[in-house]
Structure 1
């Protein structure tokens, strides 16, 4: 047994490992439910609401104030969903920018590693430490070294920054309170001097159409973990097993057709950012659901899981950089997240935008009252 490269790297820089946190089986789920070992409690709700997944424990640990930073993997939203549901900041990095060596594999083409922190300034500080070349990770052949140093001051001016609310799938069937909070964030960015527009981002809709039902992840997850899946299938959490087994039936032609299509779609997405600095979208289209609702049936779970993953999975499919920050709460006091999408390897740009947002808002400073939470 050994630490993943990124854990060893951070420990060598002085990081103290407080503990290992909960996750979904095989890191394969956006809700955060683990029916085998228990589901972490969302600290923002008195009734047991889900924490988001798959990095559920990481989101709860930071959201409850137990630690200032935690790591997570993000293949379809597994850093950003728990960050949003627990009212913290979560960074989805570009594949190839952070070493994945030693991280339990789900999808070798989509897996990424990123930090969950209290705010965007901390996320940037941790990201700068994490962005170290690992010559033994083949995905890091495209690694982009960080040159500029982090400023001690958060910019409160975004003059010249071009931000777009995409009139595409991201807002379809979105919860009304979530949508209102995200759109309200546009006023904050306007006050910061940014240009705000509404426009199309066709690559998002095309990405979902090209990869229906997450076939890429299913195929790669089954291939990477087939020994465990086949041997222990009937012991697996049913909300995971019924999804991951579908990867066994994905044909080579289906898989390669999707991968070939993604090549052109990713180029289309990169070209879009020639005229735009970032997209502003809801991190998750719904607020955290109750655990009871998620456990009522596999069908109920599946519907909620799809809603959790839709907006975040697009970023993995297109290999975009993304950061989620708190942008409000609904009438029940449940957190709402704003996601800022940038082109691949634009982590520092989107983090600067997030830091500017947090100079004018206080959502990231609020803390849950966990004294009376259900345990």
Structure 2
């Protein structure tokens, strides 16, 4: 089938559900879509470096099989043939999964991650593995040895793509894939979503299995969808969520389909703005977009209220004992090996966990539960807390300070076991994306998605495309 079929001029520009509808209507085939994306990857990848490995031949074969199934009237699901990209933390049996580390480039996966199994069971086609910060331990998206993806919103200047799911963010933004999977331990889905102009969902621990995913912090790690719309993010989340006997954190957590409530709008909801003191240090253009987003949600029928938070966002960024200790447990052996080719900044972060005492760890765990209880009390009767996702738009890589992190507004969601959605809400004068975060109580992903979808139905920020071709 010609990729220029009526109504589908360029399959690489389509979102995931748009592709699925085109497949069902026979206006497009999975082969068309995969060929278009592989061609775009081949053309842009030398500059963008979104992928650490592309599965071109295998993806083409899977697309041909999907096309036959659809033509015969027997697709395994409505998403059969839709391509996806996976972060290089997610195991696919027989494939290299290195966690972004040159030290692990020979690590061949012995299992397929549960999240990948669920996507493959739907007939999705994996285009390849995307770059990540080494061990997923960094928010700027840099990788000293395997390469830092190029943020596609500025073709002239290398800017932070956000991390640690840097390649997934760049791949989806640059239309190399319609959606992708990232992971979020301190903001690693939401930060690249912010800097790359995407929709990214940080789920509650236990919502999505982490079996078969290289860990950073087992008590904080959460896989999640990255897409160009809330609608696509909600669908992908719904496919991969649910209990898994191979991950005990998912036990007893019933799936919660977000699709029935996605279009209910925000009328009658109570949404909290962040305290005025938290506006300090946020770029004026980010604040202006934030204020306009609040006005938009109010115009859509939400009640905007104030809330007294039991913490300052920056203080929770410093509460890293949990992730430091758990990362050292998994990766300390490599960080201690001076001959191992580790990113300098990552080695320093991992080694910081060596000095975390049991007392430090348990004090932070107690702080976690205390602040969570206080936050829930403060948010009684409030459906979501609204913040910017980041303090600024993407900065040049030359200005990145590896001793600082861009996770001021994201880290609290992980530490306090919330769920949160990042989505584009404007652009700077230079054309760089700005982002709104919608944070909800744990296990209220459907609410965050509902609010985000209402916002995207009334705006078009998520439809803009970066200037790369």
Q: Normalization by structure 1: what TM-score?
A: 0.91
Higher mean C-alpha displacement, 171-180 vs 46-55: 171-180
Are the equivalent residues in 1 in contact too, given 2:195–2:433 (CA < 8 A)? yes
Superposition map of 1:78-157 within 5 A: 78-146=188-256, 149-150=259-260, 154-155=263-264, 157=265
Structure 1: segments with no counterpart, 5+ residues: 295-299
* Cross-structure match for 2:172: 62
Q: 1:333 Cα shift?
A: 1.0
Are the equivalent residues in 1 in contact too, given 2:424–2:462 (CA < 8 A)? yes
* Cross-structure match for 2:388: 282
- C-alpha distance 222-65 of structure 1, shift in aligned 2 (>3 A): same
User: In structure 2, how many angstroms separate the alpha carbons of the residues matched to 1:66 and 1:335?
Assistant: 18
Per the alignment, in what secondary structure is the counterpart of residue 235 of structure 1? coil
Are the equivalent residues in 2 in contact too, given 1:170–1:281 (CA < 8 A)? no
User: In structure 1, how many angstroms separate the alpha carbons of the residues matched to 2:207 and 2:177?
Assistant: 24
Q: 1:190 Cα shift?
A: 1.0
Are the equivalent residues in 2 in contact too, given 1:323–1:351 (CA < 8 A)? yes
Are the equivalent residues in 1 in contact too, given 2:168–2:180 (CA < 8 A)? yes
Q: 1:270 Cα shift?
A: 2.4
User: In structure 2, how many angstroms separate the alpha carbons of the residues matched to 1:169 and 1:56?
Assistant: 30
User: In structure 1, how many angstroms separate the alpha carbons of the residues matched to 2:137 and 2:423?
Assistant: 23
Cα RMSD for the two superposed structures:
1.7
Are the equivalent residues in 1 in contact too, given 2:307–2:378 (CA < 8 A)? no
The alignment status of 1:271 with 2:377, answered yes or no, reads: yes
User: In structure 1, how many angstroms separate the alpha carbons of the residues matched to 2:166 and 2:389?
Assistant: 15
User: In structure 1, how many angstroms separate the alpha carbons of the residues matched to 2:355 and 2:340?
Assistant: 18
* Cross-structure match for 2:29: none
Superposition map of 1:174-193 within 5 A: 174-193=282-301
- C-alpha distance 365-148 of structure 1, shift in aligned 2 (>3 A): closer
* Cross-structure match for 2:141: 32
User: In structure 2, how many angstroms separate the alpha carbons of the residues matched to 1:100 and 1:148?
Assistant: 20
Are the equivalent residues in 2 in contact too, given 1:168–1:201 (CA < 8 A)? no
User: In structure 2, how many angstroms separate the alpha carbons of the residues matched to 1:317 and 1:193?
Assistant: 31
Superposition map of 1:237-316 within 5 A: 237-294=343-400, 300-303=401-404, 306=405, 308-316=406-414
* Cross-structure match for 1:297: none
Q: 2:162 aligns with which of 52, 56, 60?
A: 52
* Cross-structure match for 1:230: 336
Superposition map of 1:10-29 within 5 A: 10-29=119-138
Are the equivalent residues in 2 in contact too, given 1:210–1:258 (CA < 8 A)? no
Are the equivalent residues in 2 in contact too, given 1:270–1:344 (CA < 8 A)? no
- C-alpha distance 138-170 of structure 1, shift in aligned 2 (>3 A): farther
Are the equivalent residues in 2 in contact too, given 1:170–1:282 (CA < 8 A)? no
* Cross-structure match for 1:331: 429
Q: 1:97 Cα shift?
A: 0.6
Structure 2: segments with no counterpart, 5+ residues: 1-108
Tell which structure's C-alpha radius of gyration is larger.
Answer: 2
Per the alignment, in what secondary structure is the counterpart of residue 127 of structure 2? coil
Higher mean C-alpha displacement, 160-169 vs 188-197: 160-169
Q: 1:289 Cα shift?
A: 1.2
User: In structure 1, how many angstroms separate the alpha carbons of the residues matched to 2:175 and 2:302?
Assistant: 32
Count of aligned pairs between the two proteins = 359
Per the alignment, in what secondary structure is the counterpart of residue 58 of structure 1? helix
Higher mean C-alpha displacement, 240-249 vs 49-58: 240-249
User: In structure 1, how many angstroms separate the alpha carbons of the residues matched to 2:214 and 2:118?
Assistant: 17
